[in-house]
Amino acid sequence: MRLGELIGGESGPEVTGFAIDHRKIAPGNIFGAFRGTRANGEDFIPDAVRAGAVAVVARPEARVTGAAHVADPEPRRAFARLAARYYAPFPTTVAAVTGTNGKTSTVELARQLWRLAGHRAASIGTLGVTTADDQVSTGLTTPDVATFLMNMAGLRREGISHAAFEASSHGLAQYRIEGLPVLAAAFTNLSRDHLDYHETMEAYLAAKLRLFSEVVDSDGTAVIWADDPVSSQVIDAARARGLKVMTVGESGEALRLASRTTALLGQTLQVEADGRAHSVNLPLIGAYQAANALVAAALVIATGGDVAQTLGDLARVQPVRGRLERAALTKTCAPVYVDYAHTPDGLKAALEALRPHASERLILVFGAGGDRDKGKRPEMGRVAADFADRVIVTDDNPRTEDAAAIRADVLAGVPDAVEIGGRREAIAAAIAEAGARDVVLIAGKGHEQGQIVGDRVLPFDDVTVARECAA
């Protein structure tokens, strides 16, 4: 594709791709020069041009010499839309999910339901790019827009017709998912997270609302978990855009959760839809997993799925990696679960999900990540104190912070907890003391395969470590 076809004017040179890192520019690339929190991409425009950039997308006041200047007051959005035109076509049916918790499970369950309905489907998010045949890690919930669009286009070339992706607040605020046709968008919930970036809950919500007010197709559908305190604001944003609204939950109208009965390895949901009652045997435990499953089902229905078949297929879904995943049984036969919960609400939901399965103690091992919102650490400690019987505070991903200081922040909310800095040692201690009627929860890292200490990523998998300790 020639430059002129993308930005107008004469045909110009051949465009070979898009990049936002000047060190990755190849001849023929279009460079996105954005002002960030740590660096200003405009400072590297001369380097990008010397490396062969044929155009630079930047603010009107940026100085560009030797390449076409695509000037826009919101260069991230302009860059994304140009990239979308370049990398298209994409899967014909695309859905997006935003919210604090539940995004990963919802997009993966939607993928599974589409597959069970006979479609070739994929999910993109924290777990990477997942299809029926493969899973490839990307390392980010929402990668940079060029990588995201290349992945989506690649899925189309592989024959994928249906794709669901996680729309993180960072990705929405930074226009990393622009230009892609999105037929349906879902909202799961909102609670404290990422205030190190957004600063206020109002700004955090505003970023998520962009999915409904700007990103999803104007004739698309909004699927909204109706039992969240801010759901009315999401519904208002969707209706102001003219979207079809499908509400889900106990207060939902499209899929109303009439009742939920827990079982040893799952739960039975009574759901009302289209004037009919449906009994759903969901092989996942916990209220929040029921919520994720119903939102995923609504997305599938919103994109053409049959109501009865979709709800029936929920009985055949598989657990999502690192989401209340039963990792091992101790020598006393106490179950050990691993969950990605890393927010106060997420931790509470995981503990509440496991409470019915603990005849005696619910033992929790958790910590908090470094270089992230510090204010949520004591809040997570208070949740642990309120909902667990035995708490061991350990290291999560300290990153560049002092690990002991992070633990101290958490312990401020749960002063009676045991402190064991080494995560393996903490997991081993919890498993060693668990009795036959206890349940162990290891929270915070879920599916992650490494522990970030300083600038290093050390191999560490909670599931593997739990199995080794249990053995």
Q: What is the 3-state secondary structure (H, E, C) of 180-195?
A: CCCCEEEECCCCCCCH
Same domain, 116 and 226: yes
Maximum mean pLDDT: which of 90-94, 135-139, 372-376: 90-94
> Residues comprising the binding site for ATP?
99-105
* 438 located within any domain: yes
Query: Do residues 382 and 271 both lie within one domain?
Result: no
| Buried-state track 252-275, b at ≥16 Cβ within 10 A, e below 16 | bebbbbeebebeeebbebebebee
Contact in structure between 206 and 228 (CB atoms under 8 Å) = no
User: According to the per-residue pLDDT averaged within each range, which of 3-7, 179-183, 414-418 is highest?
Assistant: 414-418
Give yes or no: residues 97 and 30 share one domain: no
In this prediction, residues 312-337 reach a mean pLDDT of 95
Predicted pLDDT of residue 389: 98
pLDDT at position 142 over 70: no
- pLDDT (0 to 100) of residue 171: 87
Residues 27, 148 within the same domain: no
CB of 375 within 8 A of CB of 410?
Answer: no
32-45 pLDDT, tens per residue?
999 887 889 999 99
Domain range enclosing 38: 3-73
Asked if residue 80 is part of any domain, the answer here is no
Contacts of 252 by beta carbon, 8 Å cutoff, 6+ apart? 225, 226, 227, 294
What percent of the chain clears pLDDT 70, i.e. is strictly above it? 97
What's the predicted TM-score (pTM) here?
Answer: 0.86
Average pLDDT over residues 78-94: 96
In this structure, are 45 and 106 located in the same domain? no
Q: Assess whether 311 and 348 both reside in one domain.
A: no
pLDDT at 139: 53
Burial of 12 (0-12, 13-18, 19+ CB in 10 A): middle
Report yes or no on 181 lying in a domain.
yes
- Per residue in 325-353, pLDDT (tens digit) is 999 999 999 999 999 999 999 999 999 99
pLDDT in the model for residue 136: 67
227-276 pLDDT, tens digit per residue, is: 999 999 999 999 999 999 999 999 999 999 999 999 888 999 999 999 99
In this predicted structure, the answer to whether residue 179 has a pLDDT above a threshold of 90 is no
Residue 156, classified by CB atoms within 10 Å of its CB into exposed (0-12), middle (13-18) or buried (19+), is: middle
Q: What is the mean pLDDT of the chain?
A: 94
pLDDT at 330: 97
Contact 390, 431 (CB under 8 A): no
Residues annotated within a binding site for meso-2,6-diaminopimelate: 372, 396-399, 444, 448
Query: Mean of the pLDDT values across residues 61-77?
Result: 96
Same-domain check for residues 385 and 342: yes
Q: Are 255 and 248 in contact (CB under 8 A)?
A: yes
Q: Is the pLDDT of residue 20 over 80?
A: yes
Helix (H, G, I), strand (E, B) or coil at 268: strand
Please give the average per-residue pLDDT across 177-187, as a whole number.
93
pLDDT of 319 strictly over 70: yes
Mean pLDDT of 120-147: 79
Helix (H) or strand (E) holding 244: strand 244-249
Nearest to 169 by CA among 99, 95, 80: 99
Residue 211 has pLDDT above 90, yes or no: yes
The CATH number assigned to the domain holding 371 equals 3.90.190.20
Distance of CA 247 to the CA centre of its chain: 20
Return the CATH number at 25.
3.40.1390.10
Residue labelled with tokens 């078949």: 309
3-state DSSP assignment of residue 14:
strand
- Asked if 66 and 92 sit in the same domain, the reply is no
pLDDT band of 428, cuts 50, 70, 90: very high
How many separate domains does the chain show?
3
One domain, residues 184 and 280: yes
CB atoms within 10 A of CB 217: 15
Rounded CA-CA distance 431/43 in Å is 52
Look at residue 308 in the predicted model and tell me its pLDDT. 97
Same domain, 267 and 386: no
Q: Is the domain of 309 the same as that of 242?
A: yes
Binding residues: 99-105, 141-142, 168, 174, 176, 372, 396-399, 444, 448
12 and 3 Cβ atoms separated by less than 8 Å? yes
316, 346, 378 - which closes a domain? 316
Q: Is 135's pLDDT higher than 80? A: no
Distance CA 121, CA 113 (A): 9
**Pick from 280, 88, 292, 270: which is nearest to 189 by CA?**
292
129 and 270 co-located in one domain: yes
